[in-house]
Chains A and B, each alone.
Chain A
Amino acid sequence: MKRFYLLLFLFATSGGWAAETVFMCVPNSRRHRLGQSQNPVIGLFVSNDQAKTWQHRGWQESVRLFYAEMGADSVLWGAAGNGVMRSVDGGHTWKITTDWRVTEVLKVKVRPDRPSTVYAACAYGVFRTTDHGQNWRKVLDRFSADLLIDASQPQTLLAAQEEGISISRDGGDSWQLCGLSGKGIRVLAQSPGADKNWWAGTEDDGVFVSTDQGRTWQPRNHGLNHSTVYAIAFHPTDAKKMYLGVHEGGVYGSTDGGATWQRLSSGLGNAVVHSLAVLPSNPQVVLAGAINEGLFISRDAGATWTFAGQAESHIWGLSVR
């Protein structure tokens, strides 16, 4: 443990991170297959220049890295097939912090106010560590695709499950069904600014919003012609501007807080968009990670898109620090 903090200190004091860093996770590529002698590099890619260039970090073969997120203490966490990975040097080297019980991890979320507490959503439920990954404990059973830690009340946690949304108001100790019972929840997000609404993207039922801390959920599907939603992203300061990544429909955008949606797929076609990121340093820049089709970038708030690399790859997760 001492070594962990020493490495962290050294990294943090050695220049650390650029003002804005984007993490892109590529768990798989059509060109990366078992049985091939030459495979392209997959895994984690990092950009410090508004997604103009990317550097690969860490393992070059697959452990199926689905998502990476950096905590306030600059520790980088990865959600992977092999478990929850932790890096204290920005992704150059990793340690898998979980054991055989935690597998096929799809999302990892770091508590913003207490970065030693991390949650992992995986095929077998939600796991929690409160000590930087030294110990993990299962806190919620059943398949969980995504997690949301409420920005105002970090003790409040939502889990996207196959039969609706589960909520914990005590940091994961206890849970109850919160809404959208019977719906397959794919993604959860919270709008920025003052309203801090909760959003949920579903399989086949579009998007829903809760403006009352999960007591009720309302559909917001006007103009949304693709009903399976995998990704939700917001303008960093204007909560009325938001984006959805959908199955075989590219990206939808809204400028009225989700009241109406317009398809923004010029250059994207019918891509399966699984991940989205809006760059805080320049919110006109939006990234869309597609399944099987790689990365796309828009520099005009989604009006047009261009291919940005990783051909024939799954861009499962995008996050910005």
Chain B
Amino acid sequence: MKKTLVLVLILGASLQAGDDFAQRSRIILQAASREPRPDFFTLTAALLQGHDRFAQLDSLLFDQRVSGSFLSYLAVSSYLHLQKILPDSIKTRIRDIYRLRPIYRGDTENHWAMYYTGMYLASQTWPNESGERWFNGKSSAENFAEAEEYLRHWFNLSAAIGQGEFDSPTYFIAFVSPLLPLYDFSRDPAMKKNAENMLNLLFADFAIDHLTGMYGGGHSRDYPEDIINPLIPAATMFAWLYFGEPDFPPWQESRGKLRHRGWETVFGALSRYRLPEIIRCIATDRSQPYVSTETRRTRNVIRFGRELNPPVYKYTYMTSSYVLGSLHGGILQPIQQHTWDVSYVSDQPYNTLFTLHPFYSGKELAMFFPEEQKVLADEVNRYHLIYKDPNKWNSSSPYEQTFQHKNNLIVLYDIDSSAQHPHIDGFFPKTLRQRLTDPSGWIFCDAGQTYIAFYPLRPYEWIEEEHNWRWRSRELKNGVVVHVGSKKEDRSFQAFMKKCRRPPEWTADRTVQYRTPAGDLMQFSFNGPRRLNGRTIDFSEYKFFNSPYITSEMGSRIVTLQYKKKKLVLDFRGLDEQQKKE
């Protein structure tokens, strides 16, 4: 009887979760179909809802604004979703895109994922056609084989050593959105399974860093607007659809307008892919704090480096109130890197705090892009001024390194005097309830449920801006120490401040020694070892995933998810067998 009751309760809970997903999917389709701006997502949603917007789709097919790898997967995915209701004229027009429009493959991981997913589905949809029927002169069979091989290569690489564009609140959607139609429409069961595994891996990777809709921790790349306001990135839309958080539809949210008003979630709402319940649990159960460490890889370093994909070491500390996360530092990505932050649960926007060195050089760009470094620098001077903006909120820097232990972080800077912007900046939102400068040198922040202690090693100034105070220090050899607490852990802001007041030491050889409130001793110098209670941290011991919920050895291609009694193993080793069979 007991067993039956438990079974009924479990079934009830999963039905509830399924119902919630179905309900959110309906809401997304309705909202997207009302969106006046025509794109492949909104028009797919609208046409399936019975709106007569065929003429808009027809016009869109002539619009050069959608091009390259985006066009590659969008056109065929919409075709496949709509094929039962599309008039022949539009079907022909979509087919002709792959004959007449040269589709630029792009130069990075998300481009290639979109391009090859599109070419896989297109060549599957229009098989047995000769090279004259394809823009690139390759036959259907050639395009299919190339796309299949690339996708398997990408799945293998991502499962073995991680993505180069990992944990990006913006670019996450550029991987998930094409994988959903690949899952739905691939006729090869093996490819369908690969797509499902990859979706599960991507969502699991998001889930472990997820806090109420935010993609926490360090990010390979992101846009400044998303970094300073962590509930507005595109990934939050997927968090709402699949995790059920935040508890409001993000596009209706008044805390900050979604920067990216794309409706990629339409492909999720239409998909037969279902997120395993275990991943939703991992994404949402914050009853116990946990540490998650990961190893990832850089974007392809084509110049000025010994390795194509040097490792990236990532550390995240998650609680129910905040998430503190960091990358180990240095240049890991061009332009858009976000090395560390503490983001916290709040009913206010701009609920994050971080520092950075706004680095910029043509050589950095030439590490990742094939043009000459001076040509790249000139492009930036003409068209991308934000990249060299001394006030930018995203940047990699060779002069920045971190050392994190649980809710404590040391960030050190050793800025070359020739650097273009010889200062470091910190983002302190105006939405903090309080920001106090203590005689001990600590800056204490009350963010509601979360408390932040911030210790600058060198003098600084405050600059007032629209949404924030900019903390700026012009000292070249510099750093900050951060400790984060919460009402749950510390009872009150006063109690939190009291326990934090002991300042860190900065020794003559520029080693920071910080005794955390919990009693751990952290020691760190720029380019020096990271020591915790006398033991040197060895990054080579970092696994692909290591947390209470997700574990995986580097290179194993087996990712194990564990939540209470639930277990899910994502096994990518079958890709070898698939390739052998060909």
Seen from chain A, the residues whose Cβ lies within 8 Å of a Cβ on chain B are 30, 34-39, 59-64, 81-83, 86, 93-96, 99-100, 103-104, 106, 122-124, 143, 145, 162, 186, 203, 228, 230, 247-248, 272, 274, 291-292
Contacts and interface: CB of A to CB of B under 8 A. Distances in A.
Contacts of B378: 272, 291-292
B302 A82 contact: no
Given A37-B63, A100-B153, A291-B378, A30 B107 contact: no
Nearest to B154: A100
A266 to B, nearest CB: 22
Contacts of B382: 30, 292
Contacts of A145: 372
**10 closest A-B pairs (Cβ-Cβ)?**
A95-B137, A59-B102, A100-B150, A96-B136, A123-B302, A123-B370, A104-B370, A143-B303, A82-B105, A162-B303
Contacts of B374: 203, 228, 247-248, 272
Contacts of B63: 37
B375 A274 contact: yes
A291 B303 CA distance: 21
Given A96-B137, A186-B372, A34 B105 contact: no
Contacts of A291: 375, 378
B68 A34 contact: yes
A34 to B, nearest CB: 6
B375 A203 contact: no
A200 B104 CA distance: 31
Interface centre among B63, B149, B372 (most CB of A within 10 A): B372
Interface in B165-211: none
Interface in B92-131: 101-107, 112, 116, 131
B373 interface: yes
Contacts of A82: 102, 104-105, 136
B64 interface: yes
Given A81-B104, A95-B136, A95-B137, A35 B65 contact: yes
Contacts of A122: 370
Nearest to A105: B370
Contacts of B67: 34, 61
Interface in B348-365: none
15 contacts: A34-B67, A37-B65, A61-B64, A61-B67, A62-B102, A63-B102, A86-B137, A95-B138, A96-B137, A96-B138, A100-B112, A100-B146, A104-B302, A145-B372, A292-B378
B135 interface: yes
The A interface is mostly helix, strand or loop, or mixed, namely loop
Contact of A93 (B101, B137, B300): B137
* Residue of B67, B136, B373 contacting most chain A CB atoms (<10 Å): B136
A104 B370 CA distance: 7
Contacts of A83: 105
Contacts of A124: 300, 302
B46 to A, nearest CB: 21
A142 B116 CA distance: 24
B106 to A, nearest CB: 8
Contacts of B539: none
Contacts, number: 96
A39 B66 CA distance: 12
Contacts of B112: 100
A40 B284 CA distance: 49
Given A30-B383, A272-B375, A292-B378, A62 B370 contact: no
Contact of A63 (B65, B105, B132): B105
B370 A106 contact: yes
A122 B300 CA distance: 13
Contact of B104 (A62, A228, A230, A292): A62
B304 interface: yes
A203 B304 CA distance: 13
B298 to A, nearest CB: 15
B38 to A, nearest CB: 12
A103 B105 contact: yes
A272 B65 CA distance: 29
A36 B64 contact: yes
A312 to B, nearest CB: 10
A145 to B, nearest CB: 8
A203 B65 contact: no
B372 to A, nearest CB: 6
Nearest to B150: A100
Nearest to B107: A104
Nearest to A97: B137
A135 B68 CA distance: 26
Given A81-B104, A143-B302, A203 B136 contact: no
